[in-house]
Structure 1
Amino acid sequence: MELRQLHYFIKVARKQHVTQASEELHVAQSAVSRQIHQLEEELGVTLFVQKGRNLQLTPVGKLFLKRVEGIMNDLERAVGEVHEFLDPAMGEIRIGFPHTLGINLLPTVVAEFRKNHPNVKFRLRQGTFNSLVKDVINREIDLSFVSPFPEIHDYVAGELLMEEELLAILPAQHPLAGEEMIRLEQLREDPFVMFSEAYSLRSIVLAACKKAGFIPKIGFEGEETDTIRGLVAAGMGVGLLPEMALLEISPLQPAMVKVSEPRVTRTVGLVRRKDEKLPPVAEGFRQFLLDYFRSR
Structure 2
Amino acid sequence: MELRQLYYFVKVANREHVTRAAEELHVAQSAVSRQIHLLEEELGVKLFIPKGRNLQLTHVGKLFLKRAEAIIADLERAIAEIHELTDPENGEVRFGFPHSLGTHLVPTVIAKFRKLHPGVRFHFQQGTYASLVRDVLSGEIDLAFISPLPEKDDLLCGHAVLKEKLLAVLPRHHRLAGEPVIELSQLKDEPFVLFREGYSLRPIVWEACLQAGFTPKIAFEGEETDTIRGLVAAGMGVSLLPEMALEQTGPLMPVKIELKEPVTRTIGIIHRADEPMPLVARVFHKYLLDYFHKEYGPAT
TM-score, normalization by structure 2: 0.70
2:142 & 2:80 partners in 1: Cα distance? 15
> In the alignment, is residue 183 of structure 1 matched against residue 210 of structure 2?
no
Contact 2:88–2:283 (CA under 8 A) maintained in structure 1 = no
* 1:77 positional shift: 8.7
Contact 2:193–2:219 (CA under 8 A) maintained in structure 1 = yes
The letter of the residue matching 1:137 is L
Contact 2:171–2:255 (CA under 8 A) maintained in structure 1 = yes
1:276 & 1:78 partners in 2: Cα distance? 20
Residue deviations 1:148-186 (CA, integer Å, cap 9, x gap): 122512421120010000000001111111111110000
Contact 1:191–1:238 (CA under 8 A) maintained in structure 2 = yes
> In the alignment, is residue 270 of structure 1 matched against residue 273 of structure 2?
no
Residue deviations 1:102-146 (CA, integer Å, cap 9, x gap): 111111111111112111111111101110110000100000000
Could you say what the CA RMSD is over the residues aligned between the two structures, in angstroms? 1.7
Q: Secondary structure at the match of 1:284?
A: helix
1:141 & 1:268 partners in 2: Cα distance? 18
Q: Secondary structure at the match of 1:173?
A: coil
The letter of the residue matching 2:191 is P
* 1:198 positional shift: 1.6
1:241 & 1:225 partners in 2: Cα distance? 8
The letter of the residue matching 2:273 is K
* Residue matched to 1:107: 107
Q: Secondary structure at the match of 1:150?
A: coil
Structure 2 unaligned runs (5+)?
1-76, 296-300
* Residue matched to 2:6: none
The letter of the residue matching 2:137 is I
2:211 & 2:82 partners in 1: Cα distance? 48
Contact 1:191–1:216 (CA under 8 A) maintained in structure 2 = yes
Residue deviations 1:22-76 (CA, integer Å, cap 9, x gap): xxxxxxxxxxxxxxxxxxxxxxxxxxxxxxxxxxxxxxxxxxxxxxxxxxxxxx9
Q: Secondary structure at the match of 1:266?
A: strand
* Residue matched to 1:215: 215
1:126 & 1:171 partners in 2: Cα distance? 28
2:288 & 2:121 partners in 1: Cα distance? 16
Matches within 5 A, 1:115-126: 115-126=115-126
* 1:228 positional shift: 0.8
* 1:82 positional shift: 3.0
* 1:233 positional shift: 1.0
TM-score, normalization by structure 1: 0.71
1:98 & 1:127 partners in 2: Cα distance? 5
Residue deviations 1:196-240 (CA, integer Å, cap 9, x gap): 112111100110000001101111111111111111111111100
1:177 & 1:169 partners in 2: Cα distance? 9
* Residue matched to 2:230: 230
Contact 2:182–2:260 (CA under 8 A) maintained in structure 1 = yes
Matches within 5 A, 1:237-276: 237-261=237-261, 263-276=262-275
1:271 & 1:77 partners in 2: Cα distance? 27
* Residue matched to 2:148: 148
* Residue matched to 2:53: none
> In the alignment, is residue 295 of structure 1 matched against residue 299 of structure 2?
no
2:128 & 2:167 partners in 1: Cα distance? 21
Q: Secondary structure at the match of 1:295?
A: helix
Q: Secondary structure at the match of 2:149?
A: coil
Q: Secondary structure at the match of 2:93?
A: strand
* Residue matched to 2:88: 88
Aligned residue-pair number: 220
* Residue matched to 1:165: 165
The letter of the residue matching 1:251 is P
Residue deviations 1:222-265 (CA, integer Å, cap 9, x gap): 1111111111111111100000111112331111001112x211
Q: Secondary structure at the match of 1:133?
A: helix
The letter of the residue matching 1:88 is P
The letter of the residue matching 1:122 is F
